Structure 1
Amino acid sequence: MSEDSKKLKKELGVKDIFALAAGTSLSAGFFLLPGFAASEYGLGSSVVIAYLVAVFALIPVVFSIAELSTAMPRAGGAYYFIDRSLGPLFGTVGGIGSWLALVLKSGFALIGMGFYIALFFPQYSEHIVPISILASIALGLINWISAKSSGEFQKWLVGVLVLILAVFVSGGVTKIEPSNLSTFFDFPAQALLSTSAMVYISYAGITKVTSLSEEVKDPERTIPLGMFYALGVSVLVYGLGTLVMVGVIPLGGLLGNPTLAADAAQAIFGETGLYLISLAAIAAFISVANAGILTASRYPLAMSRDDIIPRVFAKISHNGTPIYSLILTVVFISLILVFLDPAKIVKLASAFQLFVFAILCFSVIVMRESRIEGYDPGYRSPFYPWMQIAGVVSSLWLFSSVGISSKLFTAVVVVVCMLWYRLYIRKKLKRDGAIFHMFENLGRSRYGGLDTELRGILKEKGLRKDDPFDRLMAGSAVIDLENKDGVDFETVVNMASEEFGRRIKRFGSRELERRFIHGAGVGITPVTEEGVALPHLRLDGIDKMEIVMVRSCAGVQMPPDPESPGLQVPKARALFFLISPSDDTNLHLRILARMASIVEAQGFFTDWLSAAGEDDLRAIFTRSEQIITVNIGKWDSAAHSLTGKPLKDSRLPQGCLVALVRRGGQTVVPGPLTILEEGDSVTFVGEPEAIEELKTKYLRGAD
């Protein structure tokens, strides 16, 4: 395997995503910003309300990004989402700009860490920049070891941070002076909105973890949970923490105070409190830098894969980390620390994030309205499209409230990225985003490769917990042609259609045969080089999926590919005919993707061709802990108690059902009124716990 074709390791769980998301949120917004926010528009103690109002503007963004990341869990997060929805021009702007914003924020965090370290060691106050550079290199090395190592380090940092802040809040609520809150609800509405816009960016880091989507285990569950937990904890910390600050410190010591958190901690716990809050601040700034370097390094990787920047940055090390992308990120942070003042520039980069948030919310609308079948998010944003419209409007409104220098910075980044696209990228790429799928009048520019790419992601994500794959395969019909030679595709279609006709009463076997033959005639039943074919139909008016498996050791002669009539089509030794309801396209694609993953696995054909019978063929596609086949014997079998009554009265364990019954050499498709008989071979499927309970309760002594 070439170095740049290696894959990132999937090793991040919910706790890792939570720690990375929360760690990028709980930093300057807590330790530096409250005093400035309280004085900027004269809000005073009401700044607490501004922090709570600000989060409402972020909720649509979080919902939108959660949906995109579960549909397209790929490195680069915002870059990948924007590129695949709006095309490479917008992707270039979003990717380079987001990477730059993360790099600047990481540099700012390292400088903040250096200042707090200088409080403990004043002799190093003149060496903050060298200390910050060394810290960035150290964090880069941790990231190089593995994303999991960085995640574990992040969990320790966030654990220390949250613990100290919990002590700060619990000790501080008893020290709140009611007189300090006398004007808590007395504020001008415009001042509240302007201050909310100012503190909004405190929460924005929560979304950056989507850059690591490709390295997340079970991303459809892990990413939304990690982000939502982080958002909830951040809201609690900011709300209660700022309440303690303004309640403990009088108004005169509140306004414009950059060390408000430290002063409040000292007022509550004395010198011990000052040291504790300083330790929390150091942990917070290191966690921001650590998460920033980790997430930022995935942007050059993703853009390099797409030829937005040179391919060298796509290289994956033997550790499973993007080595050159990581080096680029650390070097760039070090250069910023040496030549620029990140504390001044980071505010400008924050405005660019608002611009990207608006694009991301719009991207959800584009992806949904494109009707691309491969777009299958495990989490769907509620209240579509109003949630996304609210996200676009709120992000642009907040962007309009920033200063002219921040707007100019965004404009410069956009122009530079557009020039880069025009001079370096445009002639190299021949693809477009999903937006071209939205409008029929742009159909000639439609990029068909996007659906193929998304289907590849479907295969990689795998099945969802409730997908009926095991039940479907356990209940499948099997046609075993063994070594019979000279069998053509039409004959096999006829045999499969006869089997489907017995299971699907709405359609006759002749109609199903006609549809399968037509599908092969228009090229929707390709055959792999190894000899696997997956003919499939989606039909109106049926309520469940059915599958027929066909084994032919000698091979079935397939019809020629209509797009390449002169090309020799290999014989098919494994054919899987799938029929599913037309109203659940995504489930249909996930089942096909799962089957494709199994047949592409090494050793499949060895198992397929050597299987002793139908049960062995089905077993290739089912997980042993979720399926069991039992031969119901005479009275000495505990399973005999299941005979003589309808299945609906059998009181099987919850989460377990009968998928297939073999009786006298014939297959019986079970239903609620099916009565099991002595001598039946019964296949049960269900959750592992249910199968284990079934064994304990009924199957003592069963084969």
Structure 2
Amino acid sequence: MEQLARRLGVPDAVVIGLGSMLGAGVFVVFAPAAATAGGVGLLVALAVAGFIAYCNATSSARLAARYPESGGTYVYGRERLHPFAGFLAGWGFVVGKTASCAAMALTVGAYLWPGRARLVAVLAVVAVTVVNLRGIGKTAAATRVLVAVVLTVLAVVAVTGAPQVAADRLTAPADLGVGGVLTAAGLLFFAFAGYARIATLGEEVRDPERTIPRAVPLALGAVLAIYLTLAVVALGVLGADRLASTDAPLVEVVTAAGHPGLAWLVRAGAAVAVTGVLLSLLAGVGRTSLAMARRRDLPGALAAVHPRHRVPHRAELAVAAVVVAVVAVGDVRGAIGFSSCTVLVYYAITNAAALTLGPDPARRVPARLLAALGLVGCLVLAVNLPLPSVLAGFGVLALGALGYAIRRRLRPA
């Protein structure tokens, strides 16, 4: 079996995690989450999503250190639970993250050229696929540049908006209750799911037993701090109602703060941020497809590794082709809900697999307790998403399970 090259250290792995997460929450998810949970509810939902993501990150890091190969929970489910659990995780990841790729590509188009959003989206997919095909070292280098640009833009928004934050907008009561908060937390989870890219790229990480457990919490902690800061600024400047009604909340923040001339910078930063997310997403989906193809859960032709660049080139080209097709008919907000549902199931399987590991004496909080809380939390958030997202997500998972059962029945003993 051809192996991928181990080229990523802790800094590169953290950068890829940041590039996978930054953008989705700040530029896409805050508005629908505010509409669902209100002002205070948005902050509570963000904390809930962050805590469940931390539980998942702990489980992912422990499993990735034990199984440092491409595929993430697809591999962990097979090795720790049952081949079907692994298949369901891999299938959920591939279809959910393919929808995410389409959503991110459409967001790039909406920011750069609203009148030709789908054309720009296709060009963005082609461009990042070319970068990924050059090798994971090129992916990490490109993501590093994108993260630096995005952090600069987000710092400008925070510094510009902070003086205009009004305490009454932050403390305005919300009357949507626990259900609204859980729905918002499920949507906001979409913004945290990128840390799994570090585990998914486990076969390309140097010294994975040390690198992965360090990189995952570093990336997640940094992103949670950034999201909380920007959520407070956005709510404090705009209020929950205005935040919920805008498609570009950070552009609205700098405009409301009296600096409309910075709107172009924020729009450019949004396009860069989402391009970074798309870059890492396509790489992650390609690696999971590679792992599934190696075990014939996807066509075996997708298991090929490029002899020079050491990347799963056929898998990445196939994923890019599907994303382009989804872009032609896709909807950003619908894709977010669908992706959140399938990815929450993916992480539920991650936590279930982590429960089979022994205790970790190095952790102050028992790792098994975090895995149990993560498992329950993922399932609760998944079923509290908007009903169309729940039906679509579980429907596609059921179709995958049916196909798996038929293939197993027809396969020779």
Identify which of 199, 223, 237 aligns with 1:248: 237
Distance 1:290 1:60 in 2: 25
Identify which of 241, 247, 261 aligns with 1:272: 261
Asked if structure 1 preserves the Cα contact closer than 8 Å seen for 2:55 and 2:373, the reply is: yes
- Aligned partner of 1:40 in structure 2 is 36
The one-letter code sitting in structure 1 at the alignment partner of 2:8 is: L
Distance 2:412 2:368 in 1: 31
Asked if structure 2 preserves the Cα contact closer than 8 Å seen for 1:307 and 1:425, the reply is: no
Distance 2:401 2:364 in 1: 31
Judged with a 3 Å threshold, the aligned counterparts in structure 2 of structure 1 residues 182 and 361 are, in CA distance, closer, same or farther, namely: closer
Q: Which runs of 4+ in 1 moved over 6 A?
A: 184-187, 377-381
- Aligned partner of 2:65 in structure 1 is 70
- Aligned partner of 1:416 in structure 2 is 399
- Aligned partner of 1:129 in structure 2 is 118
Alignment length (residue pairs)? 412
- Aligned partner of 2:248 in structure 1 is 259
Distance 2:361 2:193 in 1: 23
Report whether the alignment pairs 1:57 with 2:52.
yes
Higher helix fraction (1 or 2): 2
Report whether the alignment pairs 1:202 with 2:191.
yes
Judged with a 3 Å threshold, the aligned counterparts in structure 2 of structure 1 residues 134 and 188 are, in CA distance, closer, same or farther, namely: closer
Judged with a 3 Å threshold, the aligned counterparts in structure 2 of structure 1 residues 77 and 27 are, in CA distance, closer, same or farther, namely: same
Report whether the alignment pairs 1:111 with 2:101.
no
Distance 1:51 1:273 in 2: 27
Distance 1:58 1:381 in 2: 18
Judged with a 3 Å threshold, the aligned counterparts in structure 2 of structure 1 residues 104 and 429 are, in CA distance, closer, same or farther, namely: farther
Distance 1:24 1:413 in 2: 24
Distance 1:154 1:269 in 2: 32
Give the deviation of 1:343 after TM superposition.
Answer: 4.1
Judged with a 3 Å threshold, the aligned counterparts in structure 2 of structure 1 residues 78 and 378 are, in CA distance, closer, same or farther, namely: farther
- Aligned partner of 1:363 in structure 2 is 353
- Aligned partner of 2:343 in structure 1 is 353
Distance 1:309 1:426 in 2: 16
- Aligned partner of 1:18 in structure 2 is 14
Judged with a 3 Å threshold, the aligned counterparts in structure 2 of structure 1 residues 312 and 265 are, in CA distance, closer, same or farther, namely: same
| Identity over aligned pairs, percent | 23
- Aligned partner of 2:152 in structure 1 is 163
Distance 1:225 1:186 in 2: 40
Give secondary structure in 2 for the equivalent of 1:91. Answer: helix
Deviations 1:209-261 (A, max 9, x none): 31100001111222222221211111111111011111122455333322221
Asked if structure 1 preserves the Cα contact closer than 8 Å seen for 2:337 and 2:386, the reply is: no
Identify which of 8, 17, 27 aligns with 2:4: 8
The one-letter code sitting in structure 2 at the alignment partner of 1:49 is: V
TM-score by length of 1: 0.55
- Aligned partner of 1:387 in structure 2 is 370
Asked if structure 2 preserves the Cα contact closer than 8 Å seen for 1:63 and 1:381, the reply is: no
Asked if structure 1 preserves the Cα contact closer than 8 Å seen for 2:251 and 2:263, the reply is: yes
Unaligned runs of 5+ in 2: none
Distance 2:313 2:362 in 1: 31
Distance 1:183 1:203 in 2: 26
Distance 2:98 2:361 in 1: 30
- Aligned partner of 1:232 in structure 2 is 221
Distance 1:254 1:312 in 2: 46
Higher relative contact order (Cα pairs below 8 Å, separated by 6+ residues): 2
Distance 1:383 1:426 in 2: 40
Judged with a 3 Å threshold, the aligned counterparts in structure 2 of structure 1 residues 360 and 182 are, in CA distance, closer, same or farther, namely: closer
Asked if structure 2 preserves the Cα contact closer than 8 Å seen for 1:11 and 1:216, the reply is: yes
Judged with a 3 Å threshold, the aligned counterparts in structure 2 of structure 1 residues 426 and 385 are, in CA distance, closer, same or farther, namely: farther
- Aligned partner of 1:565 in structure 2 is none
The one-letter code sitting in structure 1 at the alignment partner of 2:11 is: K
Q: Please give the residue correspondences for 1:379-458 in structure 2 after superposition, counting only pairs within 5 Å.
A: 382-425=365-408, 428=411
Judged with a 3 Å threshold, the aligned counterparts in structure 2 of structure 1 residues 90 and 181 are, in CA distance, closer, same or farther, namely: closer
The one-letter code sitting in structure 1 at the alignment partner of 2:328 is: V
- Aligned partner of 1:287 in structure 2 is 276
Give secondary structure in 1 for the equivalent of 2:8. Answer: coil
Judged with a 3 Å threshold, the aligned counterparts in structure 2 of structure 1 residues 193 and 310 are, in CA distance, closer, same or farther, namely: closer
Identify which of 88, 91, 95 aligns with 2:90: 95
Identify which of 130, 147, 154 aligns with 2:136: 147
Asked if structure 1 preserves the Cα contact closer than 8 Å seen for 2:348 and 2:374, the reply is: yes
Give the deviation of 1:398 after TM superposition.
Answer: 1.0
Give the deviation of 1:404 after TM superposition.
Answer: 2.8
Deviations 1:113-141 (A, max 9, x none): 011102xxxxxx43221221122111111
Q: In terms of mean alpha carbon deviation, does 349-358 or 244-253 score higher?
A: 244-253
Higher strand fraction (1 or 2): 1
RMSD, matched Cα: 2.5
Distance 2:382 2:127 in 1: 35
Distance 1:198 1:342 in 2: 12
Q: In terms of mean alpha carbon deviation, does 49-58 or 347-356 score higher?
A: 49-58
Give secondary structure in 1 for the equivalent of 2:355. Answer: helix
- Aligned partner of 2:323 in structure 1 is 333
The one-letter code sitting in structure 2 at the alignment partner of 1:215 is: E
